[in-house]
Chain A
Amino acid sequence: MTALRAALLLTLGCLTSIATLARPVSYAGGWTVIGESDRQSSSALVHYTPSPNMSLGFKTEVNRDSDFAIYSVHPTFLAKRWFGADYQGNLYFHGGIGIATGINDKPESNQMAIYGGVMADWETRSLFVGYRNRYLDAGHHANQFMQAFRAGFAPYEGDSGDLHTWLMLEIDHRPSDPDSVTATPLVRFFKGPLLVEAGYNLTVNQPLFNFTYRF
């Protein structure tokens, strides 16, 4: 059954491509702060965009399930952007390298952490689909793969500076977790330089909270 669910997700992924936070690469000269907290971990990323094709930042991530933290340098590359009068599509590569160390009751034991993955999204002013994945090797702390699909719609189309609202559903797949496939409905609010997302993972009863601030 688990294999069937995973196959279904992979198929959906191939057909639709899926989700991430909005715009992990900013305009040239822009700074961005991103905070994310999901069923497994919480993280903060600050990045600078030297060119419209890449951003470089520093990321701190705390894995609450496995009691370790990662401190890493985190580049993101915009590999391709598709433009249209009414849509935009993006393909990104992201990665990081740093140190993983135990927290809470877990003994400190520094290990090299390296991770990488792909993000893709396609959106209009009222529809959004996205996909992201990541493979993490943090030595004896963790060796994990995850992927997430997201689809959403905007009940109305706001103009510049208005409050934009999106209703979304995220399905994530973490093969190493007992609950490998979970579903999180969420709402996204977007106004000017600030994006905030709040949701609730229905499978494992965990909240989701994300934000992005651009300046």
Chain B
Amino acid sequence: MNLLIKNIAIITALCFCLPATALEQDDHENHATHDMHQHHDHDHHASDTGHGAHDGHQATGGPVLTRTEDIESALAEGGEPIVADVLGVVCDFCALAMTKIFSKREEVAAIYVDLDTKALNLVLAPGASMSDQTIADLAVQAGYRIAEVRRGDAALGSAS
């Protein structure tokens, strides 16, 4: 019993130390953060990548916006399209978590998490804005990481 209590005390102490850094330690994440801050470069260099690229991807720069009914409708109202590549999104619970967290935001008019392209697809409400940092922070609340964010024409696959 004493040994058990000692072990649980050690595990508990570790738990309180580890969670703060639990989602911050992976090499991929460091790489992801770097990628996210470099996204404007990607945007400016995306080219020759019109709609209908194979598998929802541009020839360069990652997947383009997945067009669901809600997404099309929000686009028609003039909202800004955003596509964010998500690390670790492999199941419906992942998609549900992202959807729940982002749907609470007034800025978000439509959302779809595409497991095939591993991308978070957003269309903002007309006139609304959402920074890359806010998107990254909300993804953390859902338990995931953003690798890269594309906006506007780059998100639509029509950048030139």
> Which one of A28, A75, A93 lies within 8 Å of B101 (CB-CB)?
A28
Question: B115 in the interface, Cβ–Cβ < 8 Å?
Answer: yes
> Which one of A54, A86, A88, A135 lies within 8 Å of B94 (CB-CB)?
A88
Give Cα A7–Cα B107 distance, bound, in whole angstroms. Answer: 55
Whether A78 and B19, one on each chain, are in contact in the complex, defined by CB atoms closer than 8 angstroms, is yes
Instruction: Tell whether A159 pairs with B5 under 8 Å between CB atoms, given A78-B22, A80-B18.
Output: no
> Which one of B1, B4, B18 lies within 8 Å of A79 (CB-CB)?
B18
Give Cα A192–Cα B112 distance, bound, in whole angstroms. Answer: 13
Give Cα A30–Cα B98 distance, bound, in whole angstroms. Answer: 11
**Would you list which residues of chain B between 83 and 126 have a CB under 8 Å from chain A?**
85, 87-98, 100-101, 112-116, 118
> Which one of B22, B88, B91, B145 lies within 8 Å of A190 (CB-CB)?
B91
Question: A124 in the interface, Cβ–Cβ < 8 Å?
Answer: yes
Chain B residues with CB under 8 Å of A22's CB are: 91, 93
Chain B residues with CB under 8 Å of A192's CB are: 92, 96
Chain B residues with CB under 8 Å of A193's CB are: 93, 96
Chain A residues with CB under 8 Å of B90's CB are: 86-88, 123-125
- Name the interface size band of chain A: 35 or more
Question: B142 in the interface, Cβ–Cβ < 8 Å?
Answer: yes
> Which one of B1, B22, B94 lies within 8 Å of A137 (CB-CB)?
B1
Give Cα A80–Cα B112 distance, bound, in whole angstroms. Answer: 27
Chain A residues with CB under 8 Å of B98's CB are: 27
Whether A157 and B147, one on each chain, are in contact in the complex, defined by CB atoms closer than 8 angstroms, is no
A17 to chain B, nearest CB (A): 16
Whether A84 and B8, one on each chain, are in contact in the complex, defined by CB atoms closer than 8 angstroms, is no
Question: A25 in the interface, Cβ–Cβ < 8 Å?
Answer: yes
Question: B53 in the interface, Cβ–Cβ < 8 Å?
Answer: no
Question: B141 in the interface, Cβ–Cβ < 8 Å?
Answer: yes
**Would you list which residues of chain B between 44 and 88 have a CB under 8 Å from chain A?**
85, 87-88
Whether B26 and A83, one on each chain, are in contact in the complex, defined by CB atoms closer than 8 angstroms, is yes
Chain B residues with CB under 8 Å of A52's CB are: 23, 140-143
Chain B residues with CB under 8 Å of A190's CB are: 91-93
Instruction: Tell whether A80 pairs with B25 under 8 Å between CB atoms, given A53-B19, A54-B19, A95-B11.
Output: yes
Q: Which partner residue on chain A sits nearest B8 by CB separation?
A: A116
Instruction: Tell whether A195 pairs with B93 under 8 Å between CB atoms, given A27-B143, A85-B85, A160-B114.
Output: yes
Question: A174 in the interface, Cβ–Cβ < 8 Å?
Answer: no
Give Cα A88–Cα B95 distance, bound, in whole angstroms. Answer: 13
Whether B92 and A81, one on each chain, are in contact in the complex, defined by CB atoms closer than 8 angstroms, is no
Give Cα A86–Cα B90 distance, bound, in whole angstroms. Answer: 7
Give Cα A83–Cα B25 distance, bound, in whole angstroms. Answer: 10
Question: A132 in the interface, Cβ–Cβ < 8 Å?
Answer: no
Give Cα A125–Cα B88 distance, bound, in whole angstroms. Answer: 10
Question: A39 in the interface, Cβ–Cβ < 8 Å?
Answer: no
Whether B22 and A79, one on each chain, are in contact in the complex, defined by CB atoms closer than 8 angstroms, is yes
Give Cα A159–Cα B116 distance, bound, in whole angstroms. Answer: 6
CB-defined A-B contacts under 8 Å, sample of 22: A23-B93, A25-B143, A27-B142, A28-B142, A52-B140, A75-B15, A82-B88, A83-B29, A83-B88, A85-B28, A93-B14, A114-B8, A116-B7, A123-B91, A125-B91, A157-B115, A158-B92, A159-B115, A190-B93, A192-B92, A214-B93, A214-B96
New contact pairs (20) apart from A23-B91, A51-B19, A84-B28, CB-CB < 8 Å: A22-B91, A22-B93, A27-B101, A27-B143, A28-B101, A28-B141, A52-B143, A53-B22, A77-B15, A81-B22, A83-B26, A88-B94, A114-B5, A116-B8, A137-B4, A157-B115, A160-B112, A160-B113, A191-B92, A214-B93
